């Protein structure tokens, strides 16, 4: 096994994944519906945030570059990651540093975690609703109201009163129309490339790290080895023993932390499936159209699928017909991931093919 596939089924209730016109969505032409989604980038960020929380460590710092022109105006330049696999979020998240001017070699590392968007399990099982909301503070007598004229000058209280004369208008309420909210059953997938999970290649023509970082890793006990991508440095055993349980917990128990306060949803996990076969795991959590009713679909969790380990939580029983839900489903899924990631021969990949 060189790749672990993880499929996760979550339920979201009247919430926002990320704000763009209220909620990002794509259009499904077959079922003529708007389907909300959380991008793979947001899911990845959520997983790495969870990783830093589990390890109780700060993420790697980011460098922001700015240029100043002749008019003393700031212009945004490049943004550089640390590009150091000694930081867990960099090791698992990947990086790219392309310096301006082409005077330095570009260093880049593709993340060993391939992460899909979190999207509707089926167009009929997830959707977007719109609502109108208001920001109302009209019950407070100490509000401060500022009205500016076309020159940006503040009007006096008398001028404001004259302006509002004959108008039914409150200055302490704001009407916010067409706020989109997401709800339904959502699925997302992760592919963990074990060959690159704890390995950094040493290809001098397409470098992943700088010579300085390489020297630091060697001093820290990283082991020189070789995999199908060529010579590499492998994180030492003690580092892997620390990071594997943290990564497993992050993959199983991540949550979107950017929910707005007024639209919070637990987004509870209903089921997790784990396999080394991408085609089979696609069938482990799926949906099926009803044969009796139009525009109706049913969610399905295959609980006894060969080559797939399935873990169903107690919450799933309220939305899907299941027989194997357990209170410790996520903990067992976590232990399964730890077992699979620990068993891989990171230091001797070619001799164990």
**Is the predicted pLDDT of residue 74 greater than 90, yes or no?**
no
Sign of the alpha-carbon dihedral angle for 91, 95, 100, 102: positive
- Report d(CA 150, CA 171) in Å as an integer: 18
On the CB side of 108, CA atoms within 13 Å amount to 7
**Is the predicted pLDDT of residue 332 greater than 90, yes or no?**
yes
- What DSSP element (H or E) covers 181? strand 173-193
For the chain, the average pLDDT equals 86
DSSP state for residue 18 in the 8-state scheme: S
**Contact residues for 33 (Cβ-Cβ < 8 A; gap 6+):** 27, 123, 124, 127
Per-residue tokens: 344 = 């891989």
At residue 265, the pLDDT reads 81
What's the whole-model pTM score?
A: 0.85
Q: Is residue 79 very low, low, confident or very high in pLDDT (cuts 50, 70, 90)?
A: confident
Lowest mean pLDDT among 5-19, 175-189, 331-345: 175-189
- Report d(CA 267, CA 17) in Å as an integer: 10
Return the number of other C-beta atoms located less than 10 Å from residue 338's C-beta: 16
Measured N-to-C along each axis, helices 237-253 and 40-55 cross at an angle, to the nearest 10 degrees, of 130
Calculate the CA 216 to chain-centre distance: 30
Rounded to whole angstroms, what are the CA distances from 61 to 64, 96, 98, 145? Answer: 10, 14, 17, 41
Top mean-pLDDT range of 33-37, 59-63, 309-313: 309-313
Calculate the CA 93 to chain-centre distance: 11
Grouping H, G, I as helix, E, B as strand and the rest as coil, residue 186 is strand
Longest dimension (CA), the chain: 86
| Residues 219-239, mean pLDDT to the nearest whole number | 94
Lowest mean pLDDT among 70-84, 105-119, 238-252, 316-330: 70-84
Backbone angles phi, psi at 37, to 5 degrees: -155, 160
Calculate the CA 46 to chain-centre distance: 4
**Is the predicted pLDDT of residue 226 greater than 90, yes or no?**
yes
- Report d(CA 251, CA 313) in Å as an integer: 16
Calculate the CA 266 to chain-centre distance: 15
Phi-psi region of 129 (alpha: psi -120 to 50; beta: other; left: phi over 0): beta
Per-residue tokens: 174 = 């704001």
Grouping H, G, I as helix, E, B as strand and the rest as coil, residue 49 is helix
pLDDT tens, position by position, 313-322: 999 999 999 9
Per-residue tokens: 303 = 């609980």
Rounded to whole angstroms, what are the CA distances from 72 to 63, 66, 237? Answer: 21, 12, 51
At residue 76, the pLDDT reads 73
């Amino acid at each position: 096994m060189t790749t672990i596939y993880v499929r996760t089924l979550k339920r979201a209730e009247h919430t926002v994944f990320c704000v763009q016109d209220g909620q990002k969505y794509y259009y499904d032409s077959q079922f003529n519906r708007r389907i909300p989604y959380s991008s793979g980038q947001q899911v990845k960020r959520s997983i790495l945030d969870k990783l830093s929380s589990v390890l109780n460590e700060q993420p790697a710092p980011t460098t922001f570059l700015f240029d100043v022109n002749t008019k003393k105006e700031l212009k945004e330049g490049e943004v550089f990651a640390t590009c150091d696999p000694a930081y867990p979020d960099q090791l698992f998240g990947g990086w790219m540093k392309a310096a301006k001017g082409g005077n330095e070699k570009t260093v880049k590392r593709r993340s060993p975690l391939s992460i899909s968007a979190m999207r509707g399990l089926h167009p009929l099982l997830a959707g977007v609703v719109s609502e109108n909301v208001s920001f109302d503070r009209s019950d407070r007598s100490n509000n401060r109201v500022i009205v500016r004229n076309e020159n940006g000058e503040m009007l006096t209280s008398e001028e404001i009163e004259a302006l509002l004369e004959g108008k039914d208008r409150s200055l302490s309420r704001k009407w916010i129309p067409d706020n989109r909210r997401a709800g339904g059953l959502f699925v997302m997938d992760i592919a963990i490339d074990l060959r690159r999970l704890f390995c950094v290649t040493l290809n001098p023509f397409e470098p992943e790290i700088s010579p300085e970082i390489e020297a630091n890793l060697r001093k820290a006990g990283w082991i020189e080895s070789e995999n199908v991508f060529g010579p590499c440095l492998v994180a030492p055993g003690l580092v892997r023993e620390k990071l594997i349980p943290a990564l497993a917990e992050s993959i199983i128990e991540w949550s979107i932390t950017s929910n707005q306060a007024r639209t919070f949803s637990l987004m509870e996990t209903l089921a997790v499936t784990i396999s080394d076969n991408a085609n089979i795991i696609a069938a482990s959590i799926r949906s099926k159209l009803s044969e009796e009713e139009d525009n109706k679909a049913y969610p399905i969790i295959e609980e006894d699928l060969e080559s797939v380990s399935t873990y169903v939580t107690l919450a799933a029983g309220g939305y899907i017909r299941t027989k194997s839900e357990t209170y410790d489903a996520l903990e067992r899924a976590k232990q399964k991931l730890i077992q699979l990631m620990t068993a891989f021969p990171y230091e001797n990949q070619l001799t164990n093919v």
